[in-house]
């Protein structure tokens, strides 16, 4: 990744930090999250649909004309920024290029931190997070990622804002020193970590059931899906954050019985619709589609980490059907799904 706009060492350090971020499952899952570094005239950002964990071995970054991006933000002109590409690697800029361009710091790190998401999915989250992290953070109410999110951030952040919490989405940390910025991200993530929910399952539930096209998941980490906790059961079929919708679908179908599951699969198959990557059958637990992709598997594990941290003393705020459909029909997310 030879580049005249950045020093060799700062590029190596940037790639290594991007790898570290992508290699920490609690911070980034699958193709989620993104990082950027700015020079005076250009910005290098993770390409759409690529995985940060591949930062060291693959060319996953796109170089863009920074002045052009900032001008489009100033003019409130939504764009995919393909015309602003300087590099020649046939990659497409991240769907979140615009907020990286909006933030004036040299480094911007965006994570889908499990602890941040778990604390930002309540109606009371803004006050809760300011209590835990301080009044200096900026809290951004949910809006579709991409340009709409940037326009909302534009009205909320200041030149010195370093920590931004995205409701039902994740964490942004920015700074001019890479190590300091990454450490601030880790510190913020760790401050919010608190495992609350136990599995609360009937230890006598050990039922084996064969369902066409699906494999029963009996590993210990999946036992939460056998819970009798009504509050947990109530959120299994909901979606909490954008990548949840994109890679798991709009909620995991929760079915009351094996017969209901078989009917569900039959009806979807008759319509030639795509079967969901996972289903849950009460008392039997989780079932994985034999064709589930690796991104879906990572997103399921992320969902479990969030479920373990949901504090039901607060009121969960899930994405609406309109918000789910907005994501599923967005061409940028269709592209990201396609290459994953």
pLDDT the model gives residue 204: 47
Contact assessment for residue 18 and residue 35, using Cβ atoms and an 8 Å cutoff: yes
Signed CA dihedral, 143, 149, 155, 156: sign only: positive
Contact assessment for residue 63 and residue 39, using Cβ atoms and an 8 Å cutoff: no
Q: Confirm whether pTM is higher than 0.75.
A: yes
Report long-range pairs for 310-314 (Cβ below 8 Å, ≥24 apart). 310/118, 310/121, 310/196, 310/197, 310/232, 310/235, 311/122, 311/194, 311/196, 312/231, 314/122, 314/123, 314/124, 314/125, 314/128
Q: Where does 8-191 sit in CATH, by number?
A: 3.40.225.10
Contact assessment for residue 212 and residue 265, using Cβ atoms and an 8 Å cutoff: yes
pLDDT in tens, the chain (340 residues): 557 789 999 999 999 999 999 999 999 999 999 999 999 999 999 999 999 999 999 999 999 999 999 999 999 988 889 999 998 788 999 999 999 999 999 999 999 999 999 999 999 999 999 999 999 999 999 999 999 999 999 999 999 999 999 999 999 999 999 999 999 999 999 999 988 766 555 544 566 788 999 999 988 889 899 888 888 899 999 999 999 999 999 999 999 999 999 999 999 999 989 999 999 999 899 999 999 999 999 999 999 999 999 999 999 999 999 999 999 998 877 777 777 7
d(C-alpha 268, C-alpha 132), whole Å? 44
pLDDT the model gives residue 338: 75
pLDDT the model gives residue 220: 86
Signed CA dihedral, 63, 65, 68, 74: sign only: positive
Q: How many CB atoms lie within 10 A of CB 313?
A: 9
Q: Where are the domains of the chain?
A: 8-191, 214-308+310-338
């Amino acid at each position: 990744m030879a580049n005249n706009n950045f020093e060799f060492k700062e590029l190596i350090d940037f790639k290594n930090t991007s790898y570290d971020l992508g290699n920490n499952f609690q911070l980034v899952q699958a193709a989620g999250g993104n990082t950027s570094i700015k020079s005076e005239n250009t910005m290098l950002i993770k390409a759409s649909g690529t995985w940060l964990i591949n930062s060291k071995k693959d060319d996953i970054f796109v170089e863009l004309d920074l002045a052009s991006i900032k001008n489009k933000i100033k003019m409130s002109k939504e764009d995919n920024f393909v015309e602003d590409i300087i590099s020649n690697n046939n990659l497409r800029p991240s769907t979140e290029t615009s907020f990286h361009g909006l933030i004036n710091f040299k480094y911007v790190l965006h994570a889908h931190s499990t602890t941040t998401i778990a604390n930002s999915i309540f109606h009371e989250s803004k006050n809760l997070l300011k209590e835990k992290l301080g009044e200096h953070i900026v809290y951004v109410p949910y809006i579709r990622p991409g340009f709409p999110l940037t326009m909302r951030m534009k009205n909320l952040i200041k030149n010195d804002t370093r920590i931004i919490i995205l409701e039902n989405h994740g964490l942004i940390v920015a700074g001019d020193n890479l190590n300091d910025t990454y450490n601030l991200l880790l510190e913020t993530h760790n401050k919010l970590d608190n495992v609350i929910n136990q599995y609360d399952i009937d230890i006598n539930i050990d039922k084996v059931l064969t369902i066409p096209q699906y494999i029963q998941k009996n590993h210990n980490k999946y036992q939460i899906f056998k819970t009798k906790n009504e509050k947990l059961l109530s959120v299994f079929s909901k979606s909490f954050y954008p990548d949840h919708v994109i890679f798991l679908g709009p909620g995991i179908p929760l079915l009351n019985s094996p017969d209901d599951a078989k009917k569900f699969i039959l009806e979807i198959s008759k319509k030639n619709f795509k079967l969901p990557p996972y289903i849950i059958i009460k008392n039997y637990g989780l079932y994985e589609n034999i064709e589930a992709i690796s991104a879906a598997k990572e997103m399921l594990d992320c969902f479990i980490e969030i479920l373990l941290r949901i504090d039901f003393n607060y009121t969960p705020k899930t994405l609406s059907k309109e918000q789910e459909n907005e994501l599923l029909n967005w061409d940028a997310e269709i592209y990201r799904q396609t290459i994953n």
